Amino acid sequence: MDEMTRRLKMKSEVWETLKKTVKALKEPKNILLLGSFGTGKSSFINTVITTLTGKNDYYVDIGCGSKHNTTRFQRISREEYWNPDEEVDKFLNLPTFIDIIGMDPLLSTSEDEETVNSQIMNLAINGKLPEDADLLDLGKKLKDKKQLKERPEEKTLSVDIIIVVISAENPDIPQALIDEIYKEANVKKKQIPVFAVITKVDKCALSEQELEDKKTGICEAIGIASDKVLMCSNYQPNQPLDTNKDISVLEFLTKLCNPRFKAVTLQKMECEEPEPEPEPAPVPAPSPPNNDSPFGVKLLQGAFLCLVIAILLGMILHLLSKDRKYKS
């Protein structure tokens, strides 16, 4: 068996494992991609769908340069990309991908409890953004401190998995943004499994060891195990299929679709404020002795008697002293 045949066989086996995994799901998972502007979130969605379908196409529009291309809330459901030849595979619970605007790391700070980024992430995670919501416009309004009207949660839009997308070309890890993602995914209302994808590994100037070091740093920053991270070079338009790339993407997708990885709504325990302790009763100041009381009378009598005795003793001593002088 030559190398190509072996790799194709391996891809087929991984694909069968993925099919078994998604068949165990009750419904497709909603996977939200988060990251800074220009990290390749949309390109990664195209890469995953290209791997699944074998057709390299613009399932999500991508851009380049310094302007946002994804500016709206966009859901790419199974129905939009999955049309297999085999009828038996038609209703596989393949995931729905959620693409939103790239986050600006400068808008994530440790000082503010609610930033523009955290508010948009919270809305997306909890299924409160309608299809095609203008996130660029929303971000400007939130930046101007405008209050968003409360929206009901749409259960079918709630997020099951979060993928943090980071470009290998970016020398710095956006720690403040990652901290906000961690808070939204673990602390507030829900606990959501978090994975990571390092994109553009084919375009960066890092060595293999430097890439591994970057992967380790990202794992530590997010707080996830290394097997939850995929290092990937995205498919470019009209690029031929790469079996090795497909295998790694399918293996990663199988992990994402594992039924054991699921979002949980945190049950916050209610606590009561402790009752305030009663203030201690004031200690009354000692009152001066009452001279009219029997004790006071006796005290005065004793003092007077001592005074009389002292005077008498003084007089006796004085007389004795004079008598001694006279005799001498």
- Mean predicted confidence (pLDDT) in 17-35: 96
Using the predicted structure, report yes or no on whether residue 52 has a pLDDT greater than 70: yes
CA distance 176 to 187: 16
- pLDDT at residue 254, rounded to an integer: 98
**Between these two residues, 315 and 167, which has the higher pLDDT value?**
167
**Between these two residues, 125 and 281, which has the higher pLDDT value?**
125
- pLDDT at residue 76, rounded to an integer: 95
Mean pLDDT lowest for which of 50-54, 145-149, 255-259? 145-149
Band (pLDDT 50/70/90 cuts) for residue 280 is confident
Band (pLDDT 50/70/90 cuts) for residue 325 is low
Band (pLDDT 50/70/90 cuts) for residue 68 is low
Read off the amino acid at residue 108: S
Mean pLDDT lowest for which of 20-34, 110-124, 151-165, 275-289? 275-289
- pLDDT at residue 299, rounded to an integer: 67
- pLDDT at residue 297, rounded to an integer: 65
- Mean predicted confidence (pLDDT) in 153-169: 92
What rounded mean pLDDT belongs to the chain?
A: 87
Band (pLDDT 50/70/90 cuts) for residue 294 is low
- pLDDT at residue 13, rounded to an integer: 97
Band (pLDDT 50/70/90 cuts) for residue 288 is low
- Mean predicted confidence (pLDDT) in 285-312: 70
**Candidate ranges 131-140, 251-260, 303-312; pick with highest mean pLDDT:** 251-260
Tokens coding 158? 């709630």
Using the predicted structure, report yes or no on whether residue 66 has a pLDDT greater than 70: no
Residues contacting 176, CB < 8 A, separation 6+: 105, 108, 109, 110
